[in-house]
Amino acid sequence: MYLLTLPKGVDAAPLEKIESFPNNFNGAKKIESYVAGIAEKHKASPLLIATEATSFIRALKASVKEVNAAIEKAYEGFSLTLDTIPGIGVIFAAGIFAEIGSIERFASEAQLAR
């Protein structure tokens, strides 16, 4: 079980930057203060909390990779061309497809656009 929830933006940072904070991380003082507060609250060392945060982020990134791979595999089963539009990858296209559902339920392009 993890002792902390991560501040906004930490989960989007490259793991190498998080592993070496507070020296190289943008907003390091804020994160350092946050980690120190969690460490004090749980009577744990800040290094333990930072290590735990890194492990937590690694686990989340691995989960995202697995989910993305499953989405990509499922997407292959459909004959869709959404991902041929510049800027729309398979994951985003799958999200659009999931939102739209069956195209036949729309009477026109205008109705789909609404």
Give the Cβ contact number of residue 48 at 10 Å. 14
Percent of the chain surpassing pLDDT 70: 75
Residue 84 has pLDDT above 80, yes or no: yes
- From the centroid of its chain, how far is CA 35? 21
Q: According to the model, what pLDDT value does residue 1 have?
A: 43
Q: List the single range of 3-17, 70-84, 95-109 with lowest mean pLDDT.
A: 3-17
* Residues whose CB falls within 8 Å of the CB of residue 103, separated by 6 or more in sequence, listed in order: 112
Higher-confidence position of 75 and 24: 75
| pLDDT mean across residues, the chain | 78
* Sign of the Cα pseudo-torsion (102, 106, 108, 109, in order): negative
Q: According to the model, what pLDDT value does residue 6 have?
A: 53
